[in-house]
Structure 1
Amino acid sequence: MSEESDPKPSPISDKAQRVLGVLVEKAKTTPDNYPLSLAGLVSGCNQKSNRSPVMDLDEDDVLLALDELRERGAAREVQGNGRVTKYRHAAYEWLGVDSPGAAIMTELLLRGPQTIGELRTRASRMYKLDDLETTKQVLKELEDKQLVESLSPPGRGQTFAHKLYTTQDRLYLDARMAKQAAASESDAGSTATAQPRSAVPSESKSAVDQLIARLDKVTERIDDLEARLKALES
């Protein structure tokens, strides 16, 4: 695929991220059960392993996420055996990625930001990544396509995230990363100077905590509105 025709990142909701990740994952890890029925998708979205955060989606949540993905050309509805409606992904075409790129994108969709080592280990269940250098090369290709970005400086512990977050979710992610960075700096400073944690200035930590609290409230209001909308539709 030429560089000019590579698709650009298209933000999708957290539920759509989870559904797309599950579709790609199951196509690779359980091909005999793919494409997935609605029940299979709900189960895959809510499973407790290989997921962060753990979600509790119902059929309406998944159907709305599928509608969102189909509008973007990232998922398709197909007729399964016994005329049961099933669903398959179109992630390769939509994102313009190959198998190793799809494996890493899937892990980022299912688990959120991760280090290079974590991505190599976890993505290898879908596509074998021989070493860290191979993983770095795949990440570089995804960065060039504007699908992935680094959230921390190069070196040990460098963390990567996909770029399909909505604006609100990205603000929440930035606040979380800032809080983690502040905690790491506090720990390093305490170790170096043998001072208690309280000696570290608290202004920046307080501002981050306030931002996270505000984002939590916004998220709760959106969830409440979605629940009311479902009630009205039914």
Structure 2
Amino acid sequence: MSDDTASGAKPPAKPISAIARRCLGVLIEKAKTTPDSYPLSLAAIVTGSNQKSNRDPQMNISEGDALLALDELREAGAVREIQGSGRVTKYRHAAYEWFDCDSPGASIMTELMLRGPQTVGEIRTRASRMHPFVDLTATQAELDALVEKELVFAITPPGRGQTFAHTLYTPTERQHLAAKIEKQSGATPSTAAPSSAPASAANESRIDKIQQRLEDVVTRLESLEQKLADWEK
């Protein structure tokens, strides 16, 4: 018996491929945002994976790609295959068990899988379409819990604009992500005019508020785009 089993602790979810993460994120998202059309067929998973809104990076996966990813997720224990009406095979996620987390945690993991690394403010704004987060403090508390479970890690130092990512990246992806962050950090200007120092705190506060408002507007627009796309289908 392993130490994890003996202590009752669940081992953290293992890394999965990028397409598998996209498919899993789509399943969790649709279960929360469009429950009437859930569980999802293979065609619905492909459509959700390739949609333009709430996705970064954009993908153009085929049904064959999705089938391989779903096989990967089933073997990992993150997805279950069921028989739908009319003998159509459908799929549902098992994210709560696989992640060993509840709705708030699953909502954050979903946004990180669908859109990549994000700040606390971005996570709160975007994940609130699946689970309401009352403020940044509540969002940070949930992130801390996910960090404790080794599902999330901080990829930039503490402070304004700190960015978080999930731990489901493959080792190669982690290396690319670290290199990208290091490059971005090195490109940031490190010198500022001395006269701007006294007002920096106030300016940062104003920037934070403006950024939050912009994120709210973008999220509302994306929500409207998604509702329109669902209605057209």
Under TM normalisation by the shorter chain, which class is it? 0.7 to 0.9
The secondary structure found in structure 1 opposite 2:133 is coil
Aligned to 1:223: none
1:89 lines up with 2:93 in the alignment: yes
Aligned to 1:108: 112
Unaligned segments of structure 1, at least 5 residues: 194-234
CA–CA separation in structure 2 for the residues paired with 1:155 and 1:90? 34
| Aligned counterpart for 2:50 among listed residues 31, 35, 46 | 46
Q: Is the 8 A contact 2:13 2:98 kept in 1?
A: no
The secondary structure found in structure 2 opposite 1:5 is coil
1:164 lines up with 2:164 in the alignment: no
The two structures have a TM-score, normalised by structure 1, of 0.78
Q: Is the 8 A contact 1:108 1:162 kept in 2?
A: yes
> In the TM superposition, what is the alpha-carbon distance from 1:192 to its structure 2 partner?
4.2
Aligned to 1:26: 30
Q: Is the 8 A contact 1:7 1:95 kept in 2?
A: no
Q: Deviations over 1:204-232 (max 9, x none)?
A: xxxxxxxxxxxxxxxxxxxxxxxxxxxxx
| Aligned counterpart for 1:137 among listed residues 120, 131, 141 | 141
CA–CA separation in structure 1 for the residues paired with 2:51 and 2:180? 24
Identity level (%): 62
The secondary structure found in structure 2 opposite 1:188 is coil
Unaligned segments of structure 2, at least 5 residues: 195-233
Q: Is the 8 A contact 1:7 1:94 kept in 2?
A: no
Q: CA-atom RMSD, angstroms?
A: 1.4
Aligned to 1:7: 11
> In the TM superposition, what is the alpha-carbon distance from 1:176 to its structure 2 partner?
1.1
Aligned to 2:190: 188
The secondary structure found in structure 1 opposite 2:8 is helix
Q: Deviations over 1:115-160 (max 9, x none)?
A: 0000000000000000000000000100110100001111100000
The secondary structure found in structure 2 opposite 1:71 is helix
CA–CA separation in structure 2 for the residues paired with 1:7 and 1:126? 26
The secondary structure found in structure 1 opposite 2:147 is helix
CA–CA separation in structure 2 for the residues paired with 1:122 and 1:99? 14
The two structures have a TM-score, normalised by structure 2, of 0.78
